[in-house]
Amino acid sequence: MSFYNESPEGAIDPTPVVGVVGLLAEAEKLVTPWFKTPGDVVFLLGETKDELGGSAWLYELQGIKAGQPPVLNLKREAALHALLADAAGRGLLCSAQDCSEGGLGVALAEAAFLAKTHGGALLGAELNIATRLNPTALLFSESASRAVVSVSPQQAETFKVLCRRQGVVCQEAGRVGGNTLAVFANSRPVMEVAVEKLYAAWKGGLKHYV
């Protein structure tokens, strides 16, 4: 953990780091973050608010490092963790990816291309999200206690019941499939990009910083 550092270019932000190690009793129930099968149902868990303060979007695109960070509600966070653990234990989840740095847009991109880093294939999705947010906040807000999961169509209703039981906001947003990641907000297009292009940007990202 480091709370004071200097570099030739100036001060380095405080960087607390938490490492967690756990034991997975049933390895066959491991849930990975990437989409698996065309036709799987994509759910958005948790609430996205207009919280761009201190976000990656604000810094990378606007050059601003400021603003109120997202508010963390510990009860909602605990409910999300309980839901994900329960759903994984029941074998309901095909994939699960947290929404953190970069927000929903980055979480969806990672779910689409991360399989390739483990010998799998790129796999996109088409989503239509009901929201009152503008496209920037929808994709890049870093609101806490959110995740993107995919579930087989046969298990979708069971998963919805589990979400209600755990008190977690759940929105059925679309389906896995194709070679593009397409996002609509209230049936209006927000983003459509080839998954291969997303993967190339991620894999070659370091070149932009050296």
In a domain, residue 13? The reply is no
- Domains held by the chain: number: 1
Q: Is residue 26 part of a domain?
A: no
Q: Is pLDDT above 60 for 129?
A: yes
Q: Is the distance from CB of 40 to CB of 150 less than 8 angstroms?
A: yes
The reply to whether 105 falls in a domain is yes
Which pTM value belongs to this model? 0.91
Mean pLDDT of the chain: 93
d(CA 63, CA 133): 22
- What pLDDT shows up at residue 210? 66
- What would the pLDDT profile of 150-193 be if each residue is shown by its tens digit? 999 999 999 999 999 999 999 999 999 999 999 999 999 999 99
- Identify the pLDDT of residue 125: 98
pLDDT at 3: 56
% of the chain residues with pLDDT over 70: 96
Domain membership of residue 24 (yes or no) is no
- Report yes or no: 64 and 112 within 8 Å, Cβ to Cβ: no
Q: Is residue 12 part of a domain?
A: no
- Residue 70 falls within a domain, yes or no? yes
Confidence class of residue 2 from pLDDT cuts 50, 70 and 90? Answer: low
**Domain CATH for 96:** 3.90.650.10
Under the banding of pLDDT at 50, 70 and 90, the label for residue 137 is very high
Distance CA 93, CA 82 (A): 14
pLDDT of residue 207: 77
Q: Tell me how far CA of residue 113 lies from CA of 87, 119, 122, in angstroms.
A: 23, 11, 5
Residue 23 lies in a domain: no
Q: What is the mean pLDDT of residues 30-54?
A: 97
> Side chain identity at 1, as an amino acid letter?
M
Cα separation of the two ends of the chain: 25
Q: Note the pLDDT tens digit of each residue in 52-98.
A: 999 999 998 888 888 998 999 999 999 999 999 999 999 999 999 99
Please give the residue range of the domain that contains residue 136. Answer: 31-205
Q: Kindly state whether residue 38 falls inside one of the protein's structural domains.
A: yes
9, pLDDT greater than 80: no
> DSSP character for 209?
G
Model confidence band, residue 206 (pLDDT cutoffs 50, 70, 90): confident
pLDDT score at 19: 87
Asked whether residue 4 carries a pLDDT value surpassing 70, the answer given is: no
Query: Which residue(s) pair with 44 in the sheet?
Result: 148, 171
The number of helix segments (H) and strand segments (E) in the chain equals: 6, 9
Nearest CA to 95 among 151, 153, 38, 173? 151
pLDDT-based confidence at residue 13 (cuts at 50, 70, 90)? confident
Q: Is the torsion defined by CA of 95, 101, 104, 108 positive or negative?
A: negative
